[in-house]
Amino acid sequence: MNDALRIFACNSNPALANEICAKLGIPLSPVEISRFSNDNLQVQIRENVRERDVFVVQAFTEPVSDHIMELMITLDALRSASARRVTAVIPYYSYARSDKKDAPRISITGRLIADMLITAGANRVLTMDLHAEQVHGFFSVPVDHLTAIPTIAEHFRRNHDLANMVAVATDAGGAKRVGRFSERLDIPMAIIDKRRVDDTSVKQGHVVGDVKGRDAVIFEDEISTAGTLLSTIETLRAAGARSVHAGAVHGVLCGPAIERLRNAPIESIVVTNTVHMPPGKHLDKITQLTVAPLFAAAIERIHSGESVGALFE
């Protein structure tokens, strides 16, 4: 590997960063992140990065604001240290959910954070499975948008009988994503059509597609509180699904998610390690796949000037 390549990690997911470095055969470069007595953050880069090609791994996970500030200050420190190019590697970009002005007097925060990253010193961004693909266009620097769909699809191919399986989108907005997943496995798909049933905003799900007697796999970009997943499971069970499974790229699993999933009538849940999963969030029914090889391959291609899109051809 070229000596000009350096990889740093902030505090959100050092395990993923270490695994990426192991795949590339290089050590994780040292950075010291500390706090002053007034709670202000300080970041010090602990090695020479002058004219180096630098990548910083940081997911926007809880505590989100702290992790964003860590990344911003690290990017600025690297720019001040004369790094040749700085790439922000953001496995999970949580503010991709804030992609439009759907209420009066609110911020399109996905765009705001993009602007802040560039101001801080990011020359490029590498991310995975944005909740809203149009967020890609919020950046005025190059963005490489990876997907874990092939990784998750391969897990289901190896561990399940696909002959009786159907992929399920939790709503019409997720149909395009689930369509790519179902095409990868060459299985049919169904969509949950949510209808408002009265003025209290209660929604009732109806299945568009055939799930009776079939093994349904719900596919999402992320699982946060698991509320949508839980209602989808109930709808599929009521529609006669033989078994229910779920796949999601980002296993955020916040709030009541773990307790909901612990008691939910679902056979298996597959997520990736874009989000660090502490011991308290482990359940026997949850499998976590690694996306480190994909990020490592993308970093190697960016560093050497090769096509990142070719990884998915």
Tens of pLDDT, residue by residue over 17-48, are 999 999 999 999 999 999 999 999 999 999 99
Residue for token digits 């779920």? 246
Determine what percent of the chain is predicted with pLDDT higher than 90: 90
Please check whether residues 219 and 263 belong to one and the same domain. yes
The model's pLDDT over 273-292, given as tens digits with 9 standing for 90+, comes to: 999 999 989 999 999 999 99
Average pLDDT over residues 86-92: 98
pLDDT of residue 197: 56
Q: What is the pTM of this model?
A: 0.95
pLDDT in tens, 138-152: 999 999 999 999 999
Element (H, E) at 268: strand 268-272
Torsion of CA 236, 188, 91, 159, to 10 degrees: 80
Q: How many CB atoms lie within 10 A of CB 102?
A: 8
Residue 159, SS3 per DSSP: helix
Do 116 and 168 sit in the same domain of this protein? no
Q: DSSP 3-state assignment of 77?
A: helix
pLDDT for residue 201:
47
Same domain, 189 and 283: yes
Its domain, for residue 228, covers: 149-289
In the structure, what pLDDT confidence band is assigned to residue 204 with cuts at 50, 70 and 90? low
In this structure, are 101 and 172 located in the same domain? Answer: no
Q: Look at residue 249 and give its three-state secondary structure.
A: strand
Kindly report the CATH number assigned to the domain that includes residue 204.
Answer: 3.40.50.2020
> 22 with 140, same domain?
yes
Same domain assignment for residues 117 and 160:
no
pLDDT tops 80 at residue 73: yes
Interval 106-122: pLDDT, tens: 999 999 999 999 999 99
Q: Would you say 221 and 250 are in contact if contact means Cβ atoms under 8 Å apart? A: yes
b/e 267-285 (16+ beta carbons within 10 angstroms → b): ebbbbbbbbbbeeebeeee
Residues 38 and 112 in one domain: yes
Question: Are 60 and 73 found together in one domain?
Answer: yes
Mean pLDDT of 161-190: 95
pLDDT at 187 over 90: yes
CA atoms within 13 A on the CB side of 139: 24
Among 193-202, 265-274, 290-299, the minimum mean pLDDT is found in 193-202
* Count of domains observed in the chain: 2
Claim to verify: residue 94 and residue 66 sit in the same structural domain: yes
- Distance, C-alpha 262 to centroid of its chain: 22
Task: Indicate the pLDDT class of residue 200, thresholds 50, 70 and 90.
Answer: very low
Coil, strand, or helix at residue 148? coil
Together in a domain, 55 and 74:
yes
Give the length of the chain. Answer: 313
Kindly state whether residues 19 and 126 are assigned to the same domain: yes
Active site residues: 194
For the cut 80, the answer to whether the pLDDT of residue 136 exceeds it is: yes
How would residue 199 be classed by pLDDT, with cut points 50, 70 and 90?
very low
**pLDDT at position 196 over 60:** no
89 and 121 assigned to the same domain: yes
